[in-house]
Amino acid sequence: MPEPAGLDKVYSAVAETARLLGVPCSPDQVSPAVKAFGDEFPGAHIVFSMAAGEQHRGELDFDFSLTPRGLDPYATALANGLIEETDHPVGSLLAEIQARCAIASYGVEYGIVGGFKKSYAFFPLDDFPPLAKFAGIPSMPPGLAEHVGTLTSLGLDDKVSAIGINYAKRTLNVYLAVAAVPTQTKLALLRAFGFAEPDASVVEFVKRSFSVYPTFGWDSSAVERICFSVKTQNPGELPAPFHPEIETFANGVPHAYEGGREFVSAVALAPSGEAYYKLAAYYQKAREASNAAFAADRDDSAS
């Protein structure tokens, strides 16, 4: 297995990937992440992710895992001036989760243009938190508690594998491990949340999904979107539009491990049935067992 990449190699990979997508990238855009989190990079899972479509063009997300050795992603971002403190519940949620749930590893979503966006917390693969307990955490969006009955009735009460907290958009992604869940249950989740029936191509995508996450906000109990994810070594084989920018990204994104590139492709659905597609590419794979949850449940989540 190749040696983990040094900081210079990581920056070079970021810059090379940004060029593929026409995203402006300079050391000044990446150095805040390096200053705050760079000591973790040699042992981290590192993932580059993008979304197709005009409204998402012009950004590249640089995501990486953090081991749970006291490096809290949100607290670290605050301490390094990457984000402003807030009295909104989004700012206290991670600390409340830490106090109540075992965490296997953390992660960060960092936009080359948008900067620090999101904290992830990944739960141990053998110790997912019970949904009802999880939904009862004080700073959780109230809509999650309102939907516990629905999720439980579908057999998803013990499937919460990770969360992603988006501070700019003030939303929460709740990741559900659904690799072994029947397709009809996954489709029933869409109907239960009031989403339009998906077309045949999306149904085929849903069949292959290993992870699904609904997005909750604090201002409404409605689910803002639902995203299904599929692992692949060939995004072109998936039943999804292979947009030109996705093809360019898939064929050119660098990777620092042996064998072919590995990806997670995702379809994000709005209640209206509108969909857009996303692609995440592993650049580096961590060696530490504590990051296994990040690897097992890694999902592009630019939402």
For 121-151, how does the pLDDT look when each residue is reduced to its tens digit (9 = 90+)? 999 999 999 999 999 999 999 999 999 999 9
According to the model, what pLDDT value does residue 86 have?
A: 97
In whole angstroms, what separates CA 288 from the centre of its chain? 19
Percentage of the chain with pLDDT > 70? 92
What local confidence, expressed as pLDDT, does residue 174 receive? 97
- Cα–Cα distance, 26 to 30 (Å, whole number): 7
**Per-chain mean pLDDT for the chain:** 91
Which residue range(s) make up the domain with 197?
7-296
Determine, yes or no, domain membership for 303.
no
Asked whether residue 225 is assigned to any structural domain, the reply reads: yes
Q: What is the pLDDT of residue 290?
A: 53
Are 120 and 66 within 8 A, CB to CB? Answer: no
Residue 182 domain-assigned (yes or no): yes
pTM of the model: 0.93
> Is the pLDDT score of 289 beyond 60?
no
pLDDT band at 1 (very low <50, low <70, confident <90, very high): very low
DSSP H or E run through 171: strand 171-177
Within a domain: 111: yes
- 187 in any annotated domain: yes
Residues 238-258: pLDDT tens digits? Answer: 988 888 999 999 999 999 999
* Pairing mode, strands 115-122 and 105-111: antiparallel
Distance (Å, whole) CA 210 – CA 175 = 10
Residue 126, amino acid: D
242: number of CA atoms within 13 Å, CB side?
11
DSSP 76: H
Q: Is residue 68 part of a domain?
A: yes
How much is the average pLDDT of 107-112?
A: 97
Tell me the pLDDT tens digit for each residue of 23-42. Answer: 999 999 999 999 999 999 98
For residues 275-302, give the mean pLDDT.
71
pLDDT bin (cut points 50, 70, 90) of residue 299 is very low
Look at residues 232, 233, 254, 249 and name the one whose alpha carbon lies nearest to residue 2. 254
Number of structural domains found in the chain: 1
User: In whole angstroms, what is the distance from residue 49 CA to residue 163 CA?
Assistant: 17
Other CB atoms within 10 A of residue 15 CB: 17
Q: Is residue 31 part of a domain?
A: yes
- The mean pLDDT of 228-237, rounded to a whole number, is 94
Does the residue 105 lie in any domain? yes
Predicted confidence at residue 297, as pLDDT, reads: 58
Confidence at residue 67, expressed as pLDDT on a 0 to 100 scale: 82
Residue 293 pLDDT greater than 60, yes or no: no
